[in-house]
Structure 1
Amino acid sequence: MTKNWTPLAVIYLVLALIGFAGTWYYNIRTVLDGRDFLGEILSAGPAVGSFSVDLLVVAIAAGAFMVIEGRRIGMRLPWVYLILAAVVALAFALPLFLSQRERRLDRSALRSSYT
């Protein structure tokens, strides 16, 4: 196992820990308060807080990945996906980014096979 921790690896690890602590704080609070976890998802309460933290941490990690990976492989304007995530939805922007990433990787593979 490597001891090499790149700054990006550390950022993702910190986000993972925040995601774990934030969501489980609300999960445990929901159980200790004797609340209906699934019922509160549709209304309000600690269960909603858990999902909010969960989605926020995923959105931050996805945004960092989209910009850094986009730059790494030479995609044009990778930050546009962050705007799309904020204006439309992350559920739209991330799969769109991943599809364009695959196209870029495939294009790069085709170019390298001709040289």
Structure 2
Amino acid sequence: MTPARRNLCVAYGVIAFVALIATWWNNIAYIADGGDLGEFVADGYANYASSSLTNDLWFLALAAVVFMVVESRRLGIKYVWVYVVLSFAIAISVMFPLFLITRERRLSESRTPTPP
């Protein structure tokens, strides 16, 4: 793996880690405050600002899932369904960077020259 790809993977890893903390800090606080999963999405539409952010997130998630499926098929990455399911169970902001790490590793493998 080239240093540039390695650095990119590190950046994606940092983003995933920070996203995990940022999302789950709020998820745990939401549940501790008496919120439940059935109300979670509805609460995302509490006002125009939160509705805009919620809609933005849904459409970004949709684009990311389409990209993950297409790239997985193109590059032969197995088990893309795990990334998709965990995107909605954990957070798309966590799983998409983890998918990008896998993608970078696959791209690095496919461009490594084979010895004669």
**Fold-level match, TM-score > 0.5?**
yes
Query: Larger C-alpha radius of gyration, 1 or 2?
Result: 1
Matches of 1:85 and 1:60, distance apart in 2: 10
Runs of 4+ in 1 over 4 A off after TM superposition: none
The structure 2 residue matched to 1:77, chosen from 68, 76, 79, is 79
Matches of 1:45 and 1:62, distance apart in 2: 25
Matches of 1:78 and 1:45, distance apart in 2: 34
Sequence identity percentage: 43
Matches of 1:79 and 1:69, distance apart in 2: 12
Matches of 2:78 and 2:47, distance apart in 1: 42
- What's 1:105 paired with? 107
With structure 1 as the length reference, what TM-score do the two structures score?
0.58
- RMSD, aligned CA: 1.5
Matches of 1:101 and 1:61, distance apart in 2: 16
- What's 2:63 paired with? 61
- What's 2:24 paired with? none
- How many positions carry a matched residue from both structures? 71
> Of the two structures, which has the highest relative contact order with CA contacts closer than 8 Å and spacing of 6 or more?
2
Q: Deviations over 1:88-110 (max 9, x none)?
A: 11111000000000000101111
8 Å CA contact 1:66–1:79 kept in 2: the answer is no
Unaligned runs of 5+ in 1: 1-43
Matches of 1:64 and 1:80, distance apart in 2: 14
Q: Secondary structure at the match of 1:79?
A: helix
